[in-house]
Structure 1
């Protein structure tokens, strides 16, 4: 029976290890996507800043109303893209948070099975040690009886 429960615990521990590995892969993927989304957000913000600098230089030199209106329309679209990308960044960060929680849960589960396996092995070892001690005691008693007869 002890061997059977150890086999079951071993199987559960293997499954938990696979779950941890899968959760780690999912977390890494989510982190990669979040980093890519943030990099795109940073690029859009830098792009906008460059255009603001260009606009300021052009305004110093003088600009027509139509050109200024085109710049304003462009900034409106760029700001929409930045806002949309910010949502993507937030969703990606939320996914990282979720995947991290799933990974932590799978780690705890794996650790629990490791603890149970360790306890089971210690129990089995204790039983075997008692059995060995009993056999040694019986052997010593037989030797003592044989010497006295």
Structure 2
């Protein structure tokens, strides 16, 4: 039983570690999403700035530079979406690992509970046998005094 308790402790620690890894992965996904949001907002602000500045007229060279920069921002946004996709996949894997570890811990705990229940039943049967034995001896002593 002591060995099973050690296994259960080990499985609980592994589950806590897996849960922590999952939480960290979720935080990374949130951070990457925030980066994307910031990039998108910057791109939008930049486009508004171009529009505002462009009302007065801009040269072809400046206009081309602005378009190139907007293209780079769009490419950065696409790359960030890929990063989010990868971190989300990693987070999902961490979640599955955590849930799998949770199953293992529960299985060990169920086994321990089963062993405890069996030990209690054995103890109750032994107690009942002793009570039956005492009752039988009392009956025979009363029925057949020596």
TM-score range, shorter chain: over 0.9
1:66 and 1:58 map into 2 onto residues whose CA distance is 14
- SS of the counterpart of 2:114? helix
- 1:28 pairs with 2:23: yes
Deviation string for 1:11-46 (max 9, x for gaps)?
221111011100011001101111000000010001
| Alignment correspondent of 1:68 | 63
CA distance in 1: counterparts of 2:52 and 2:126, whole angstroms: 91
- Is 1:109 aligned with 2:109? no
Report the Cα distance in structure 2 between the residues aligned to 1:60 and 1:114, rounded to whole angstroms. Answer: 71
Q: Would you identify which runs of 4 or more consecutive aligned residues in structure 1 move more than 3 Å?
A: none
Residue aligned with 1:31, SS = helix
Give the unaligned 5+ runs of structure 1: 1-5
Alignment partner of 1:62: what SS?
A: coil
Report the alpha carbon displacement of residue 52 of structure 1 after superposing the two structures with TM.
1.0
| Shift, 1:9, TM fit | 2.0
Unaligned residue ranges in structure 2 (runs of 5+): none
Aligned CA RMSD, in angstroms, stands at 1.2
Offset of residue 80 of structure 1: 2.0
Offset, 1:107: 0.7
1:119 Cα deviation (Å)? Answer: 1.2
Question: Structure 1 residue 48: deviation in Å?
Answer: 0.3
1:76-95 matched pairs, under 5 angstroms: 76-95=71-90
Partner of 2:123: 128
Match of 2:47 in 1: 52
What TM-score do you get using the length of structure 1 for normalisation? 0.91
